[in-house]
Amino acid sequence: MGLARSDASADKLKQQGVESVRGEISDTQGLTDVVKGVDGVIHTVFDSSSLDWTAANAGDVAAVNAMIAGLRGTGKPFIYTSGTGVLGNTGEIVYDEDTPIVPSELPAVKALQQRLGTEKAVLEAAGVSGIVLRPPNVYGRGDGRAVFWMIREAAKKLGAVPYAIGSEDNRWAYVHVDDLADLFVLALDQAPAGELFHTGAQSGLRTQDIATALSRGMRLGGKTIALEMPELEAAIGFPFVAEYWASNSQSSSEKARRVLGWTPRHLDLLGEIGQPSR
């Protein structure tokens, strides 16, 4: 069963043979009621459309609390989707689930780190099998309106894929959406209560190499352009995203592979995004 917030979404679920229930993530009583009739919950929604991250986080907390209330006492699994953005700029460190997280004063990271409190609430929820997944950047099947989409939109205007001056050798982790979907299923079936998992299929990918591959995939001939931060922010249109793209975000998924037997299949990000789209 999937929560559909529009008729179009309900139709997509139906085409996949999935039963839908119409509702909104902001309808907390509705969420509590609907999860009482399910065997487990995978929560992937985080509504940041307003770009007001404090409000988005408050809405997320309310939704999570509502669903936990509906599951409390059942011991059923509740999987919360966070993200490795909470780690901040990882520098040369490849973070695992036990690496201490340093509170950040950077606006983008500070906003994301509000989610650490939600993670803690899920992992410690009484009477519920709380599990947290932290995906890095997700790609594949159109990329949605995520970081790659925003960078591509900027590249269309510039004629080259932009990145921040000095960030050429920064490093990133990525996961294909299909591999992430496989991991959600494994976590739902096998993950012990109270466990946190990083979900990057690849880590250590250079910003310059990613930018070049994106450029090739856009038929821009591998052209990239290094910009000062104000220029990058203007090109992307979202200072939050520009700040993120100028950082490092490395993480290890060794725990997910070891504990859950996860074996990601998409291990060539550069090759996949470098293929020209039709």
Task: pLDDT tens for the chain, 278 residues: list them.
Answer: 899 888 899 999 899 898 989 988 899 999 999 999 999 999 999 887 766 778 889 999 999 999 999 999 999 999 999 999 999 999 999 999 999 999 988 887 888 899 999 999 999 999 999 999 999 999 998 766 678 999 999 999 999 999 999 999 999 999 999 999 999 999 999 999 999 999 999 999 999 999 999 999 999 999 999 999 999 999 999 888 899 999 999 999 999 999 999 999 999 999 999 999 75
CB neighbours of residue 25 within 10 Å: 19
Residue 39 near residue 76, CB atoms below 8 Å? yes
On whether residue 44 sits in a domain, the answer given is: no
| Residue 89 confidence (pLDDT) | 94
Residue 80 tokens read as 């919360």
CATH number at residue 226: 3.40.50.720
Angle at CA of residue 271, ends 91 and 175, nearest 5°: 50
On whether residue 223 sits in a domain, the answer given is: yes
Bridge-based pairing state of the strands 195-198 and 161-164:
unpaired
On whether residue 19 sits in a domain, the answer given is: no
Residues contacting residue 73 through CB under 8 Å, at least 6 positions apart: 127
Q: How many domains does the chain have?
A: 1
On whether residue 123 sits in a domain, the answer given is: yes
On whether residue 43 sits in a domain, the answer given is: no
On whether residue 253 sits in a domain, the answer given is: yes
Residues contacting residue 277 through CB under 8 Å, at least 6 positions apart: 217, 218
On whether residue 108 sits in a domain, the answer given is: yes
171 lies in which domain range?
72-273
| Residue 188 confidence (pLDDT) | 97
Question: CA 252, CA 132: separation in Å to the nearest integer?
Answer: 15
On whether residue 20 sits in a domain, the answer given is: no
pTM metric for this prediction: 0.94
